[in-house]
Chains A and B, each alone.
Chain A
Amino acid sequence: QQQVKQSPQSLIVQKGGIPIINCAYENTAFDYFPWYQQFPGKGPALLIAIRPDVSEKKEGRFTISFNKSAKQFSLHIMDSQPGDSATYFCAAWENYGGSQGNLIFGKGTKLSVKP
């Protein structure tokens, strides 16, 4: 059972466009939602993250919108650039209690930004 559903699988936008990647979850034990960015041939790297008590977080051109009641969150990339072309993974931290937990990843979205 896929715990974090991510869409779309791939996305092509023109330079300057605003790609939006969506994720949905069911598990209410999730309490932290990071996004990872992965360039070809590299490991994923943390891009931005949000806690469920916040509805929006911005870091530079990257914004996470979070809808707790709908159990959905999304990544927006403002003024997208060819250098943003990468695979993006949403993730959710499943809190087991105390300091124990596990990071669950979505299946990823391959973004291509055309010049």
Chain B
Amino acid sequence: NAGVTQTPKFRVLKTGQSMTLLCAQDMNHEYMYWYRQDPGMGLRLIHYSVGEGTTAKGEVPDGYNVSRLKKQNFLLGLESAAPSQTSVYFCASSYGQATYNEQFFGPGTRLTVL
């Protein structure tokens, strides 16, 4: 059981470039999330999905797009990267979105935008 995996682990982009971050989970979880973590800011929700084919905006969605074509995968896209998107990105998944459903996190992707 790999849990939640993220690809790539590190990436450096130039301003204006695009890229896609891939998240995969093998726990058959219904819900998936993308967070960004910045120093002194904690974790902030970018987008989330409550099931295959669905997506919804979180707290900081601007500049990002997501897709959930398969239940086990959740993709985060940056169409035109900006230095403000330099961050560590975490994907998470949970069985449901009920109060007591634990979120399981991946190891993160460190993105630098120059």
Contact = CB atoms under 8 A, between A and B. Distances in A.
Contacts of A46: 102-103
A43 B4 contact: yes
Interface in A25-57: 31-32, 34, 41-46, 49
A103 B103 contact: yes
Contacts of A101: 97-99
A99 B107 contact: no
Contact of B43 (A42, A44, A45, A99): A44
B51 to A, nearest CB: 12
A24 B97 CA distance: 23
Interface in B78-114: 90, 92, 96-100, 102-108
Chain B interface size range: 20 to 34
Nearest to B9: A41
A43 B97 contact: no
Contacts of B104: 45
Interface residues of A, number: 24
A66 interface: no
Question: Which of A6, A99, A100 has most B Cβ within 10 Å?
Answer: A99
A107 B42 contact: yes
Given A89-B43, A102-B58, A105-B42, A41 B107 contact: yes
A42 B108 CA distance: 7
A43 B99 contact: no
Contact of A99 (B41, B58, B90, B97): B97
Contacts of B100: 32, 49
Contacts of A41: 107-108
24 contacts: A9-B40, A31-B99, A32-B99, A32-B100, A41-B107, A41-B108, A43-B105, A43-B106, A43-B107, A43-B108, A45-B104, A45-B105, A46-B102, A46-B103, A95-B99, A99-B96, A101-B98, A101-B99, A103-B45, A103-B103, A105-B42, A105-B43, A107-B40, A107-B42
Interface of A: 6, 9, 31-32, 34, 41-46, 49, 89, 93, 95, 99-103, 105-108
Interface of B: 4, 40-45, 58, 90, 92, 96-100, 102-108
